[in-house]
A = this chain, B = another copy of it.
Amino acid sequence: MKQKNELLSKNQQLVFELIEKANEPLKAYSILSSVQKKGIKAPLQVYRALNKLMEIGKIHKIESKNAFVACKNNDCKISKASAFYICENCEDISEVNNFKLTKYLSSFKANNEMKVSKYNLEFFGICKNCQIK
């Protein structure tokens, strides 16, 4: 059986590999400049790959930073539920992997409002590492 990675097209794979190897969120135009040696020439090629990768849950967009990270959480059930810690000091970003939180938010319904089909949550604070210093 094929691995998920192999299902990616050429551009999608180039972009995904870069994001996956990075240890920080990457911006679209920074991705572009990195993959230009490998044939991708225009912003749109990057954005199309990014959109597809988000759709299938392999990456997430950190909305408050306009940056992209690889999913560390088993592709987040096709990207329906994502949550992040964002350190306001060192800018380190890590994906929250907490079953209780996922369950709580996925089933959240207040005041007869909408049924949630997807959510994105961004926590801000000072990370463990920065607290020590």
Contact = CB atoms under 8 A, between A and B. Distances in A.
Contacts of A87: 114
B110 A96 contact: yes
A89 B48 CA distance: 23
Given A87-B114, A114-B131, 15 more contacts: A63-B63, A88-B117, A101-B108, A105-B121, A105-B123, A108-B123, A114-B123, A114-B125, A114-B127, A114-B128, A115-B126, A115-B131, A116-B125, A120-B122, A121-B122
17 contacts: A63-B122, A64-B120, A85-B113, A96-B113, A105-B121, A108-B123, A114-B131, A115-B126, A115-B131, A116-B123, A117-B124, A118-B123, A118-B124, A119-B122, A119-B124, A120-B124, A121-B121
